Amino acid sequence: MKIRIIAIVLAGLLVFASHQEKLRDINLDIQKISGQLAAIKKEKTSILNEIYTLELEIDVATIELKKMDLVLAETQNKIDRKQKEEVVLQGKVARSQENVKRILRVLYKMGELGYVKLFINIGNLNQLFRNYRLIVALMDDRVVEIKAIRHGIIQLQRIKTELKTELDRLSIMKNDKAVKLSRLRGLKQDKLNMIGKINRQRDLHAQLLDELKNEERNLTEFLNQKIGSPSLEKVNFGLLRGKLAWPLDGEIISSFGKKKSTRFDTYTFNNGIKIKPLQYDEIKAVHGGEVIFCDYFKGYGNLLIIQHPGNFYSLYGHCDKILRKNGDRVNSGDVVALVGNSGSLFGKCLHFEIRKNLESQDPLLWLEKR
């Protein structure tokens, strides 16, 4: 019985430790994003900053929901453990009660003068001691079992109180989760409303284009600082023209080059292509290299940049989650990120670029024909 209870407790402790580790990671993520939110709010108001702020708030709300799910699961596990303990204790109390009944039945059959009869009907001293030990054993067993019943009932009452507390806590947390979920949906709708507003209003559209051009210059400046870094391998990346594997299986929804907006009669230049995923969300490196950037970049969302030999770069923007960190070496075909809609005005898609030195290349000239 004790071994079973100990096993239940140990199993609960292992689950608790796992949940605590995940909660620590989630709290670190919330702390990081909160710092980014504080920093962005100090910057000059802009469309890209408003989009970034909304996306950070969506991230926080999403992570808080994950945290809530963990706490809910932990609470439910605690309730399950308590319920199992309750069942074990109920069985133990029931067995103790049966033992007491058995002892009382034996004493009853001996009759009111049973103790005297045991001592009178003896043939020798050995029988006397045997009868004496029987009486003492019966009385001691009854006392022990009664104490066990009393202790078990006290424990059951404690567990029932704890169960009620946890069940009440579970109910409150479920209500809190519903509130957080509603807030998350509201933030996502706010982002969609903002994108719709930008696409409808000429002045906002023009302002966004100016901001995107400025961020493009910032990105080019960043890459300029990387030019001249030693090649990672003795391979001429230029020989791979038209032979690179696709980073994502999907449909091209925005092509490379100069584009005209029929709504506002304005022109933009796309430095890459946008690919909408058809089935899978995994983004793969088109060639081996080293990760030189993996963070949020305004206009590109969560952006991963891989440097290849000969100052060639592949850029993967609008990611949902980046799976690599700065300095990581990757091989062709390695999964490096998951497609998303961070910083995107096109919904869920991958923004993909190929650059030689600072010059944008048409990715379709580098990717294998489909």
Q: Which residue has the tokens 């990346």?
A: 237
Residues 8 and 80 in one domain: yes
Tell me, yes or no, whether 138 lies in a domain: yes
pLDDT for 39 equals 85
Neighbour tally for 348: CB within 10 Å: 15
pLDDT for 69 equals 87
Residues 7 and 96 in one domain: yes
Tell me, yes or no, whether 208 lies in a domain: no
Residue type, 218: N
Tell me, yes or no, whether 206 lies in a domain: no
Residues 160 and 24 in one domain: yes
Tell me, yes or no, whether 228 lies in a domain: no
Instruction: Give the C-alpha separation, 286 to 278, whole Å.
Output: 18
Which residue among 199, 226, 256 closes a domain? 199
Residues 100 and 179 in one domain: yes
Nearest to 246 by CA among 213, 226, 275, 272: 275
Residues 189 and 53 in one domain: yes
| Two structure tokens written together for 52 | 């970034």
Residues 43 and 163 in one domain: yes
Please say if the pLDDT value at position 101 is more than 80. no
Task: Quick: pLDDT tens for 222-248.
Answer: 888 877 655 555 567 778 899 999 999
Instruction: Give the C-alpha separation, 21 to 345, whole Å.
Output: 36
Residues 145 and 72 in one domain: yes
Task: Quick: pLDDT tens for 246-274.
Answer: 999 999 999 998 877 767 677 788 899 99
| Beta carbons of 308 and 316 less than 8 angstroms apart | no
Tell me, yes or no, whether 89 lies in a domain: yes
Identify the domain containing residue 311 by its residue range.
234-366
Residues 185 and 299 in one domain: no
In the chain, the number of structural domains is 2
Tell me, yes or no, whether 283 lies in a domain: yes
pLDDT for 4 equals 54
Tell me, yes or no, whether 348 lies in a domain: yes
Residues 190 and 51 in one domain: yes
Instruction: Give the C-alpha separation, 152 to 5, whole Å.
Output: 13
Query: The CATH number of the domain where 99 resides is what?
Result: 1.10.287
